[in-house]
Structure 1
Amino acid sequence: MSEGVEWAAHCCLLLDWLGEDGPVPTARIAAGYDLPRPYLNKQLQALVRAGIATSTPGARGGFRLARPLSEITMMDVVAAIEGTEPAFQCTEIRRRGVGSEAPESLFRGSCAVNTAMQKAELAWRKALAEQTLADVGAAATRGNPDLPGHVRAWYART
């Protein structure tokens, strides 16, 4: 999984914490996390395409959340950045090499490796779909309730 997922999830939390300030430009978001602006902008545009964020063009433009954190799951963020294709792709190598001479009857059932990977991926996707960004934000502030205020103060100075 790319680092873009981490960046996008953090940006969503940030956009929530800075929500009243209007759209947040990519340059400000990038400065706050010390990230390369062009690459971060690609992640933010992916969030826009997925309906997680909105983009306002122009000098006073930037990004905002399209909906509350409670309506955005971690799976929404992963799908926005990584896409919806399965992480594992079975290429049926069991039919090559020694398997190329095996009778077709040996391959009637599903590939056991593919079955195991699909089961694991389903569990992973389900767990991410059950966790909203509001849950993640609550966990982030549980040990540090001043975090959103600290972040807003930092952005107010820049």
Structure 2
Amino acid sequence: MQLSIGVEYAFHSLFYMVDLPEHKSVGIREIAKLNKITESYLSKVFARLRKAGIVRSIAGVKGGYELARRAEDISFWDIIEAIEGASYFFQCVEIRKKNIFVDDPGLFTDKCPCLIKVVIQEAEDLMRERLKTRSLRWLHDQVEKDFTAEKKKTIAAWARDLF
């Protein structure tokens, strides 16, 4: 299983938005420059985050994006789902029903679900539930604990220079 690079872009971009003053926004260009990532791809990531209600766009010369919800109300799963979608990673196409040894395709009904699908989706459900327990605020607070005072000043200066 592999998540797209868009998930990583989203987490790293949203991380720095936690410290933005209320009603202040940051542009895609600034976030892309900060993380040394492509502006065009990041704009697609932010379109998905906006559609999911994680960020909102602010129009105008000083426009950009701001968090649409409090960081503690944005779970890891919210971010992943915004970028990757809600579908299960494992998509069972029921090839067992087409097996050359199956004389009666009707043998496999809802009463006899594909056990491979059942087990993998159970595991995915557990993963989703775990990811729902971690928030953007939690991530920010955990990472910030390891920042030196100098690094915190550098980040604060970056945010201050935006305005």
- Answer yes or no: same fold by TM over 0.5: yes
Rounded to whole Å, the distance in 1 between the matches of 2:52 and 2:108 is 42
Q: Report which of the two has the higher share of helix.
A: 1
Q: Is the 8 A contact 1:88 1:118 kept in 2?
A: yes
Of 31, 36, 44 in structure 1, the residue corresponding to residue 38 of structure 2 is 36
In the other structure, the counterpart of 1:80 is 82
Structure 1, gaps ≥5 residues long: none
1:15-52 CA distance string (max 9 Å, x none): 11233582101100000001110110111121111111
- 2: CA distance between counterparts of 1:156 and 1:17? 10
Alignment-mate amino acid for residue 150 of structure 1: T
Q: CA deviation at 1:73?
A: 0.4
Rounded Cα–Cα distance in structure 2 between residues aligned with 1:103 and 1:79: 35
Change (3 A) 1:7 1:140: same
Return the letter of the residue paired with 2:153: G
Distance in 1 (CA, whole Å) between partners of 2:102 and 2:34 is 55
SS of residue paired to 1:63: strand
Question: Which residue is 1:142 aligned to?
Answer: 145
Of residues 55, 58, 63, the one that matches 2:57 is: 55
- Counterpart for residue 64 of structure 1: 66
CA contact (8 A) 1:19 1:64 kept: no
Match of 1:114 in 2: 117
**TM-score, normalised with respect to structure 1:** 0.89
SS in 1 for 2:102: helix
In structure 2, relative to structure 1, the CA distance for the partners of 1:145 and 1:135 (3 Å cut) is farther
Q: Deviations over 1:94-120 (max 9, x none)?
A: 122334335643654111100111111
CA separation of 1:149 and 1:101: change in aligned 2, threshold 3 A: farther
With the length of structure 2 as denominator, give the TM-score of the two structures.
0.86
Could you say what the CA RMSD is over the residues aligned between the two structures, in angstroms? 2.1
Gaps spanning 5+ residues in structure 2: where? Answer: none
Give aligned-pair identity as a percent.
30
Displacement over 3 Å in runs of 4+: 102-108, 145-149, 154-158
- 1:98 matched to which residue of 2? 100
Equivalent in the alignment of 2:156: 152
